[in-house]
Structure 1
């Protein structure tokens, strides 16, 4: 490496096997209607709306952590031609946040309700917030360890945080990882769920639900996918109709995957109905009948569960977007990997380690691994410039998280 390389940065050639060269690969994705994914989306939208409110009213953001969200499923009366909720979902928020800035009350409960209602309406069919949602708020504003005063009872402007404040430091010790590109199996698993829960498929198949879970395996060059996809009880009138509709949807999915992969994979849809019982829901999720969701139990930040890859167990959704490096560096790790892969044409892994109180633009270690790379000064210079620029512009990630949103599921 050149002398210009920062002492926190290490660049390594990775001479191991490419993921595509492994004889066996496994991938999973929990779809947008899965209770765990719902919780991730709710938590992240709540953080975004809360931060937006603070910026619009105070110019800065109050400290908050909405990353402890649980969804307790409701009850439903489901049969052929029937799908009615008889008990609502309960969504519990636990964490920390400010309820006021000085004398200005922050409508925290309203913000949380809005975030939850909008999210659930997007990933179910027929959801009505005031009928189907019970919200419990257990957000506290207590003083943290080692703090002279509570960060969650701000009285003065300096008690709030400006986006891009150069005094910001890491709130925690974190290990984050990213990689690019996705493998063929990873792309297939990701995109088939996006297909089923996308607008065109839902328009053509309005009787399908949203709690889609996809499992994929590859044995050498042979692909196998299992898709769990509920149907809406109110729109299915017999077991015969259920199986007929499942066959029609299976064919659409198979056509999509065959075109995507360049070969026809083995495809199994709704293996649970081999016992003769159909997969029916009221609103399109197993949350209709009591299943529970929790933040961080589902997809990793790239929307997949990839046990054969480097991946962090960090749960970024709902965490403070200004200084929680488990969230910020998680986004950075994946974006850096994609950017470096695009620039160098080599499959890339990124690994970032930071300790508590480290400046946001200077984590403890950044490790870049490039597949089949031969060290050379030109590439090293390019990598250094990209890494330095991204670390120097961490506030851009915060702004995107707050005002535009970054999908983490």
Structure 2
């Protein structure tokens, strides 16, 4: 095994808010793609927690190929009812048994989907509104024998924090910190609308919020798509009034939080007399489909002007899948180093298959500004400390949960 190449360099090219032109997007927690990310990750957490509780270790698994097929609904002014349930398809690999112990995989998968959807819709009843299709297999890969997905002995399971673990794939990961003003505005706006305080004041609003932001120099523009629950909206006049009231609340939030109000366009579809109405709060109510990995990147944003990983981390195993582990680590390193040295930071991690988890092939830290010896030493120290404690990332993923969408 070769040692990790670590580089801490000073760079001076434009980034984030320094760019002349910037575009940012966020798919809210009620968007079908975001739902799939959340379902997949919760399934992995529940499965890992079950294994730890019953066996003390975790069976290998990955549930990152989740597809949500939307239902069907009757929607009109004053009426919104789901008439055909959502279907969540799980495809991936996992163990159904450990020795003589049956792992209730399908029950775990149903609960993961039910718990997630109940949090990001209004009026969701899993008994009426959800069906599950499980296509998870326990087939063995080349050279794996029986142990990977058909574990029979304790050594066939994985202990969290095992220092002998190696990367199960070749991966390229990126992170950065801090967010630009536009990025923070886009992320914050969706979090506001889908937050508890806003929903308490505006219980007729849905969850499938999508926010776009653009900036040309100092000219900020935002588009917000925000559904309403049809049963609470009795007419087009009511819809337009409520939309204006919610838009005002968002403008006040942006003014208070960022000291500016962008040119704000709310629900552009209603320019053609098409109100954004839903039954439970998502376009999944009317057949739209979601897929893991098609939405936000790990920091909750889609940022084409930034270094951006294309990995879909949600649902991947949290033990040795470096597309997930190093994706989390890249953003955590960027934030920790940036706060420690007082400069914006980009991080890049590359690993080859079978490299030790604590020894990825390359870790590159780019600091946007001047680096002196003290700052360089601080950054190198943080990288070394975090690589030596990769088990901490796994523990946080399994027991605390890390939002990656």
Structure 1 and Structure 2 fold alike (TM over 0.5): yes
Aligned residue for 1:399? 395
- Structure 2: which 5+ runs fail to align? none
- Name the SS for the 1:366 alignment partner: strand
Once the two structures are superposed, residues 303-360 of structure 1 have per-residue CA deviations (whole angstroms, 9 ceiling, x without a partner) of 0000000010000000000000000000000000000000000110000000000000
1:8 CA drift (Å): 1.1
The answer to whether 1:284 aligns with 2:278 is no
Structure 2: distance between partners of 1:397 and 1:203: 34
Aligned partners of 1:67 and 1:95 also within 8 Å: yes
Aligned residue for 2:102? 105
Aligned residue for 1:387? 383
1:21 CA drift (Å): 2.2
Structure 2: distance between partners of 1:135 and 1:47: 16
Aligned residue for 2:79? 82
TM-score (norm 1): 0.97
Aligned residue for 2:243? 246
1:261 CA drift (Å): 2.2
The answer to whether 1:362 aligns with 2:359 is yes
1:11 CA drift (Å): 1.4
1:7 CA drift (Å): 5.3
Show the 5 A alignment for 1:156-175: 156-175=153-172
Structure 2: distance between partners of 1:165 and 1:217: 45
Aligned residue for 1:64? 61
The answer to whether 1:237 aligns with 2:246 is no
Show the 5 A alignment for 1:23-38: 23-38=20-35
Aligned residue for 1:128? 125
Query: 282-291 vs 20-29, which deviates more?
Result: 20-29
- Name the SS for the 1:12 alignment partner: strand
Find 1:49's aligned residue among 46, 57, 62.
46
Structure 1: distance between partners of 2:6 and 2:270: 52
For the aligned residues, what is the CA RMSD?
0.9
- Name the SS for the 2:256 alignment partner: helix
1:382 CA drift (Å): 1.2
Show the 5 A alignment for 1:179-218: 179-218=176-215
Aligned partners of 2:28 and 2:209 also within 8 Å: yes
The answer to whether 1:118 aligns with 2:148 is no
Once the two structures are superposed, residues 217-257 of structure 1 have per-residue CA deviations (whole angstroms, 9 ceiling, x without a partner) of 01101111100000001100001100010010010011111
Q: How many aligned positions are there?
A: 403
Structure 1: distance between partners of 2:80 and 2:263: 32
Structure 2: distance between partners of 1:261 and 1:96: 45
In structure 2, relative to structure 1, the CA distance for the partners of 1:93 and 1:340 (3 Å cut) is same
Structure 1: distance between partners of 2:15 and 2:325: 27
1:150 CA drift (Å): 4.7
Once the two structures are superposed, residues 284-307 of structure 1 have per-residue CA deviations (whole angstroms, 9 ceiling, x without a partner) of 000000000000000000000000
Query: 255-264 vs 316-325, which deviates more?
Result: 255-264
Structure 1: distance between partners of 2:106 and 2:315: 15
1:17 CA drift (Å): 1.8
Aligned residue for 1:352? 349
Structure 1: distance between partners of 2:97 and 2:113: 21
Structure 2: distance between partners of 1:311 and 1:366: 15
Show the 5 A alignment for 1:261-272: 261-272=258-269
Structure 1: distance between partners of 2:101 and 2:92: 21
- After TM superposition, the runs of 4+ consecutive aligned structure 1 residues lying more than 4 A away are none
Aligned residue for 1:342? 339
1:385 CA drift (Å): 1.1
Query: 377-386 vs 237-246, which deviates more?
Result: 377-386
1:12 CA drift (Å): 1.3
- Name the SS for the 1:316 alignment partner: coil
